[in-house]
Amino acid sequence: MIPRYRDEEIKNIWSTDNKLNTWLTVEIAHIESLNSMITDKTITQEETDEIKKHAKVNKERWLEIEKETKHDFQAFVQMLEESIPSNAGRWIHYGLTSSDVLDTTNIILCKKSLSVIAKRVACLISSLEKKTKSSEAKSRILSRTHGKAAEIQTYRDVFKRWLDQVRRSYDLIVFTNSRISWGKMSGPSGNYTTTNTVCEKVALNSLGLNPIRSSQIISRDIFLDYFYCILKLMISLEKIAMDIRLYSIEEVNEMNEGFTESQKGSSSMPHKKNPISTENICGLSRLYKSYFQTAVDNCYSFWERDISHSSSERIIFKDGAHIAAFTAQRLQNVIDNLVLNTEVALENCVKKENKLASQSTLNDLIKSGLSRKESHDISQLKSN
């Protein structure tokens, strides 16, 4: 993600250093599972200890080897084996294929990302709750359907709807984080040709994961859950941001983003106070929707696997997390500093009171005994 929209915690999760260290963690879990087997033990305790003691990530060496192999994970395995002074290094990656480690690692990083995103959304929820309980929230404001005045409500009604939608997004993020606790260590094509289901379960359980039936890769519909819960959040944030943008239109002007003393709205029109943060959120939401479509397309691969998903996933996994965390925090800042123009909103209500009385007139005429059609026709004429 470009620095402008980067979240530092997400950056650390998806950094190359953390990725390589997580690869190592997964490989060590597999080594320990090989050693734990009561029957068909392939590796001794001494060899296990030797690997755990000496296996180290050397990023520079990894990059050197990758230039030769043109395969980032084979370069990683070779780099690890070189770090072991004895022949015990031969057991690293035994019976596995690259996707065993790559997909399991991606699940781990996705789960950590969702934890960060959930924190950002929880802060947004707190800000919305405070805004809902504020004294200004009791003030009247028009409700609009189809862009036209419909009824009179309060700011609190608006905030509560926003709050409920964000809460639903938060609940789905938390649920998804608990649900996508999957991994695989089933080897080439997922057929357990060298490894076995017991070994896989032991290794994955040590990582807080559970095995899932797979081909050579974890089916991308599993990862789609990760992308969908972020999509639902982005739709919620976009809805709120768009509402604020509409409320800040010059002729409406019922609420505005906060504007700091030295902030500038335009390079050529000094009077302008543009809703730049909410516009920014809407733009990033558009970008994320394209990521989600890519995630959908990635769900298909040839037979047991291909790597058509790999290139795009290097971008959408981490950048999607950045967008979600960044926009949630940005919207929280908007809510904390939101300016409610209650007097303007009240004036707008007063201007429309006669038209809005049509509903009461309709109901009174129905109560008097007139048909609904007659009542509707009369009420419509009176309101024009």
Torsion over CA of 206, 210, 213 and 217, rounded to 10 degrees?
-60
- Residue 352 phi, psi (nearest 5): -105, 5
Torsion over CA of 264, 268, 269 and 274, rounded to 10 degrees?
-50
Annotation marks residue 146 as catalytic: yes
Q: How many DSSP H helices and E strands does the chain contain?
A: 14, 6
Torsion over CA of 148, 151, 153 and 158, rounded to 10 degrees?
-40
- Residue 309 phi, psi (nearest 5): -80, -20
- The CA–CA distances, whole Å, from 258 to 41, 74, 263 equal 65, 52, 10
Question: Cβ distance 279 to 242 under 8 Å?
Answer: no
Q: Select which of 146, 178, 262, 368 is catalytic.
A: 146
Closest by CA position to 154, among listed 359, 345, 348, 347? 345
Q: Select which of 15, 126, 266, 371 is catalytic.
A: 266
CB crowding 35-50: b at 16 or more within 10 Å, else e: beeeeeeebeeebbeb
Exposed, middle or buried, 222 (CB in 10 Å: 0-12/13-18/19+)?
buried
The set of catalytic residues is 146, 266
